Structure 1
Amino acid sequence: MSKRGSDFLYHWMSEHLPDDPIIDPVLMVIDMVVDAKRAAETQGIPGQEIDDEISTIYEFIMRDLR
């Protein structure tokens, strides 16, 4: 992932991780990845840049949930 992509994801995650108990972590991670990708695209970070590292995004989010 590019530096700007990882910087964006780090900041986006810090603002969007839920404070409430997580009932379905898999569904939540999928939703968060979709939302993060959409938000990145609106800030000029191409979807392909995020798609290239989508498994890394899943891992990044799951790691932060622990």
Structure 2
Amino acid sequence: MSARGLKFLDNWMAQQLPIVARGDPIAASDLADQLMTAAEKAGIRADEINGEVASVFEVIFEAMRRRKRTG
């Protein structure tokens, strides 16, 4: 994953994860699709995001699962 791709992934997830249910695989799948669409619109190639990870879905789902509950 390029430094630019990693920064985009990190920032995007920080904005999106707080608004989804914790550990929801359907939401994770939707977010993976949304992430790749947002990256493309930002001029970031898919290989810059998923070049070093086996699955963008797995990265998002694991981040959702590990996210601390608020409130």
Query: Do Structure 1 and Structure 2 share a fold, with TM-score over 0.5?
Result: yes
In the TM superposition, what whole-angstrom CA distance separates every residue of 1:37-63 from its partner, at most 9, and x where no partner exists? 0000011101343354451x2232122
CA distance in 2, matches of 1:23, 1:37: 20
Percent of aligned positions that are identical? 34
Q: How does the TM-score come out when normalised to structure 2?
A: 0.70
Question: Could you say which residue in structure 2 is the equivalent of 1:7?
Answer: 7
Aligned letter for 2:7?
Answer: D
Indicate the RMSD between aligned Cα atoms, in angstroms: 2.3
Letter in 1 for 2:41: T
One-letter amino acid matched to 1:8: F
Alignment coverage as a number of residue pairs = 64
- The residue aligned with 1:39 is 38
Gaps of 5+ in 2: 67-71
